[in-house]
Structure 1
């Protein structure tokens, strides 16, 4: 009896160690490769050229790494949790990103820092961040929406799917927080070199994006849980990425397309002023609510 229990315990520990090694390897390789690509782009093409290509590449590199690790470690394909699960949270995945942006825009307009108008062609022609690059490259909304969906799919399957599942099976606490931190670190050179011009002037945006990525990761993790029960053990809960992909795509479309296309704030794109900060604060408050109601309790 003791021998069988010891064998089961040893096998469980072996699997746990395998998932732990896989999670560490994913973090190290994802950050290293995406940083190398971003520094290479910056050195060859200067600060602002091909910013959309760079954004797309660094969104899909973690996914390719997760596939490689899954094959190398012979992990089950269900770690990607791409199969749909019954969930009532689809509505929130569409409503919350739109509502947060609406509230942020309204409050910023109330503060007299924002105007609703078509951005000037000169501003759009700057091409020094994602919104203006999208304005320059695409003549219609449909390909822009497809682009936003594509950058969402790669990063969400890798981080909110594969990485969080691997962390759960390795018994690593707060996997949603670590996933948000990893996403922030992956994007750090992108924020430094290719967001609103680049350089030290981006430090305040980088701070905002840190809280934004952590808060969005918490919200997306909650969306991925198919059961909404506060007494459920989250490390054993069924998860699905359908609502997460909808929410992430909606967030990117609102952030990079709709708001940027129609809103000017203090003479700049809306993401550079109080509306962006208000949006980050709102997502942070949502995270606090999810934590205090134990919906993210591991």
Structure 2
């Protein structure tokens, strides 16, 4: 599949790369890293990355402005996005040919061709693998491509702590850090928190519930977010606040927005992606997301999480 994707990239003069809404470091790292890989080897090609700007991660990469007419003659590549409804910028449908590159469990088969590898730690790691096809053609990996791909791998492996970290992950991390970029600076920016978010984290630690099943839960209402001056998107950065707690198996953050309640699920053992799938979501076995429309529904999610943990 990698050589097929490489050949498709060679065929197009215009390429637009998408990723999922509410991006994380892997979404931006794979998207921006792929752009750098393509531009580094094919400098005459027009390569764009699109999607909503995320201020907290703008230090990684900035999005491009692309007119509607450009899509019609372009190859479209979607990175790190399991299902169509989560693709940022719906104009992907206007492209000439669509490629999906992803490491999530496949819940939505889309694209003219799709490369899905659930064994990969991250889509950024997959872009490293794809780079081998470029390397055969004489390409060299740029410092900026290495910085972005390393950020994506670090983000999705929790700094190499999560079970998705493999020997291959360390192999690529070792290759990437040979390039010229500052890892301390990258880590500082990836994990820094604002004062309001740090104070909200204190509230979470003081008020979450650890249930007898081993499930943890915290409720963050719109009023509570407003009190601390933190957005729902920013609150996602502290979802692992009590991940090191002894006895916890899995946990959920219920975060209220204007018209729905975000369900952010994490686990240290029980596979939670199927649970997320029952509530308009999905993701990885150890990290998933979903949403419900009422606080009454959150009781159902918590009941299911309790059962999952109790049986683990």
Query: Normalising by the residue count of structure 1, what TM-score does the alignment of the two structures yield?
Result: 0.27
Q: Per residue, is there more helix in 1 or in 2?
A: 1
Q: Which has the higher strand share?
A: 2
TM-score by length of 2: 0.26
Which structure has the higher relative contact order (CA within 8 Å, separation 6+)? 1
